[in-house]
Structure 1
Amino acid sequence: MAEKVVFHIDFDYFYAQCEELRNPDLKTKPVAVCVYSDRGGDSGAIATANYVARKYGVKSGMPIKFAKKRLEESPDAIFLPTDFDYYSEISDKAMSIIRDYSDIFEYVGRDEAYLDVTKRTEGSFEKAAHLAQQLKNVIRSSIKLSCTIAVSSNKLVSKIASDFKKPDGLTVVEPEKIESFLGPLPIRAIPG
């Protein structure tokens, strides 16, 4: 029986990457996409930030006030409100492509999905790595987004592995390497 092969796909800094699609000039600037609260002003939190902003320590979930403080020395920092209709439109295009590459597709959110590709790869992790790279290339060429894909024999390990080699990475954890991959990780690396 073929080994199960599961992809976890995570679109890198998705909301900010969508904003860069809309306005390519943002690619070189620190960009934070914000969920503003009803209290007005700078109340609310960062939904995501591009990697330029992350160099200043801006992170998802951070209060907007703290993010602005971290980006004080960057006069070209951009803070944008979320545009969920636009992000959903881009996500729908991406997920349509991803579905075509899966035997079984599981939508997790606008920027995340699991794919069971056991049948199409015949349980081969070598074939899976090639398929994952092909999928990344198609996504990049057709909708101009980068994503990180992790490949393993189950959803949990592929989810954990997708945090490695970001952005635009590809990580393969074969079944016989799961223990050595997970062993040194801190317990907080396990989602849930």
Structure 2
Amino acid sequence: MSDRIVLHVDFDYFYAQCEEIRNPNLRTKPVSVCIFSDRGGDSGAIATANYIARKYGVKSGMPIKFAKSRLKQISDAVFLPADFPYYSDISEKAMEIMKNHADVFEYVGRDEAYLDVTKRTQNNFKNAGHLAQQIKNQIRNEIKMTCSVGVSSNKIVSKIASNHKKPDGLTMIEPQNTESFLAPLKVSDIPGIGKVTEEKLREINLNTIEELRKVDIFTLNKMFGRKISLYIYNAARGIDEEPVAEKQPTIQYSRIVTLKKDSTELDFLASSLEEICADVYETAVKNKKMFKSVGIQFIQSDLTGKTKSKMLKNPTLSLEELKKTAHQLLEEALIDQTLGVRRLGVKISELSDLQGQSSLTNFF
């Protein structure tokens, strides 16, 4: 698995850049793309901001009112509602360009993808660098968008590399340079290491990846458990054997609403949960799909997320089963809930077609 060349392509400030394509006059202004909530006014959060807005401290996930306060002295600051159908159209065009340059293409999200280019580059990093630049040029010429590309022998190092020289960067890390490239980086540069994990590592004076490498796997096991520890241990050394693989998009039906107030009260949340379940159920019926997995989602008062899900024994299309399972998950999630719930959602997945006698039995 070490004889590979993998590209990670990551679009710079994707949603805001899409808006700049639609209106080039925005390129010189601080632009923030917002997800407004149902509460009206400036209630909601920033989806993404361009680099001009970021200079003033605006960042993804920040409440819109906080972002506006940071830009209140900037008369030409722009706040736009998110237009996801438009962003998806732009993304599809860019992904088609990437697919045409890949041996194997793995879609990750609207703004990122992995490409295995080992065969077409003859496993030559110089050729891979040229190919990465070709992809960047074609996307810039045809879509008017910039992206950053990381090139290495595996997915994790390429992902770290793509973030190294943003925006509009190209970073190539050959295998013999992997450890020296990673050494001075922060532990938080490893994908998947969030604030909680970073703080635990900082408590024992581990701030850089080089320092992290000095810790043995047994110490990490005690701190994080076996699975996470193995990932951290390997990532710090640039080890990742996961192949680039074409993946079918995960199909699920979901609905999330903004509540009238932040709350941790079961009765209040349960009343909204009933309506959300009914909406999701209606979508499943319309598409003639049974579901086997039920999940709930919280967006908390600090805008962090929390999810909980359950796999059912058999696929079903029963509204009562959906409500019962969602309510059970809600009760379990609230046991240790301290932050108020701002938004509440329900999703169903593991979908299958509604057909045949057994399906009708489950339905009724």
Matches of 2:185 and 2:166, distance apart in 1: 17
Q: Per-residue CA shift, 1:135-176, capped at 9, x if unaligned?
A: 100111111110001101110001111111111110001111
Q: Residue 124 of structure 1: CA displacement?
A: 0.8
Structure 1 residues without counterparts, runs of 5 or longer = none
Tell me what 1:143 maps to.
143
SS of the counterpart of 1:61?
coil
Report percent identity of matched pairs: 70
Matches of 2:88 and 2:2, distance apart in 1: 35
- In the alignment, is the contact (CA less than 8 A) between 2:7 and 2:152 conserved in 1? yes
Question: Normalising by structure 1, what TM-score?
Answer: 0.97
- In the alignment, is the contact (CA less than 8 A) between 1:5 and 1:118 conserved in 2? yes
Q: Which ranges of 4 or more aligned residues in structure 1 deviate by more than 2 Å?
A: none
Matches of 1:185 and 1:93, distance apart in 2: 33
Q: Residue 126 of structure 1: CA displacement?
A: 0.7
Tell me what 2:181 maps to.
181
Q: 1:108 to 1:2 in 2, by over 3 A?
A: closer
Structure 2 residues without counterparts, runs of 5 or longer = 193-364
Q: 1:2 to 1:162 in 2, by over 3 A?
A: closer
Counterpart of 1:110, as a letter, is: R
Counterpart of 1:119, as a letter, is: K
Tell me what 2:130 maps to.
130
SS of the counterpart of 1:45?
strand
Tell me what 1:36 maps to.
36
Q: Which of structures 1 and 2 has the bigger CA Rg?
A: 2
Matches of 2:77 and 2:108, distance apart in 1: 30
Q: Residue 2 of structure 1: CA displacement?
A: 8.1
Q: Per-residue CA shift, 1:81-115, capped at 9, x if unaligned?
A: 10000000000100011100000000000010000
Q: Residue 63 of structure 1: CA displacement?
A: 1.2
Number of aligned residue pairs: 192
- In the alignment, is the contact (CA less than 8 A) between 1:2 and 1:123 conserved in 2? no
Question: Normalising by structure 2, what TM-score?
Answer: 0.52
SS of the counterpart of 1:47?
strand
Tell me what 2:72 maps to.
72
Which has the bigger relative contact order, CA under 8 A and spacing at least 6?
Answer: 1
Q: Residue 186 of structure 1: CA displacement?
A: 1.7
Tell me what 1:106 maps to.
106
Tell me what 1:117 maps to.
117
Q: Residue 3 of structure 1: CA displacement?
A: 2.4
Tell me what 1:170 maps to.
170
Tell me what 2:191 maps to.
191
Counterpart of 2:54, as a letter, is: R
Matches of 2:57 and 2:138, distance apart in 1: 31
Matches of 2:187 and 2:124, distance apart in 1: 29
Q: Per-residue CA shift, 1:10-30, capped at 9, x if unaligned?
A: 111111111011111100110
Matches of 1:111 and 1:46, distance apart in 2: 16
